Amino acid sequence: MAHCLLIAPAEMVPEPPTQSPCVTIVAARRETIDALHAYLQSAGVASYATQALGDASLGAPATTAVVLFPDEFEVSDVVTRVLSLRRTRAPLLIVVVTGTPQRFRPALDSDARGVAPIVLPKPAFGWSILDALRRDRAEPENGGADA
């Protein structure tokens, strides 16, 4: 039996895949974590979750974005952790879902500490969070900075 080798023209060879997003969800409420995790997973986005603001997985190299629901945590702990992530993981996208962004202003302002977090008002739904994650990946020229 003869074997045939097909070679596709160069324009038909797909580009190598870009890094898939890997999102860490940080929330105090288990229901929030479970709902967002399920939504992101159904959209093909890998996600991990923690109820601990100081969790080491936030800084893991595989993590490309953090979705943080800071309202249930101590303000000073949130500000310290977000500023630390912005300094040590400058390209990391941080999406903050809060009803009171002014409480976290020192961590959210645009400056030289890295990419400014994207702030979404509460309530935010899975589709709006996913849109923020995708919008950032589609706009590398601005570093994903939104306010």
| Residue range 2-45, pLDDT digits in tens | 433 333 344 443 433 445 678 999 999 999 999 999 999 999 99
pTM of this prediction?
A: 0.77
Q: Name the least confident of 64-73, 103-112, 116-125.
A: 103-112
30-141 folds as: Rossmann fold (3.40.50)
Over its C-alpha atoms, the chain yields an Rg (Å, rounded) of: 18
Write down the domain spans for the chain: 30-141
Phi and psi of 73, rounded to 5°?
Answer: -110, 165
- If you count them, how many residues does the chain have? 147
Other C-beta atoms closer than 10 Å to the C-beta of 30 total 10
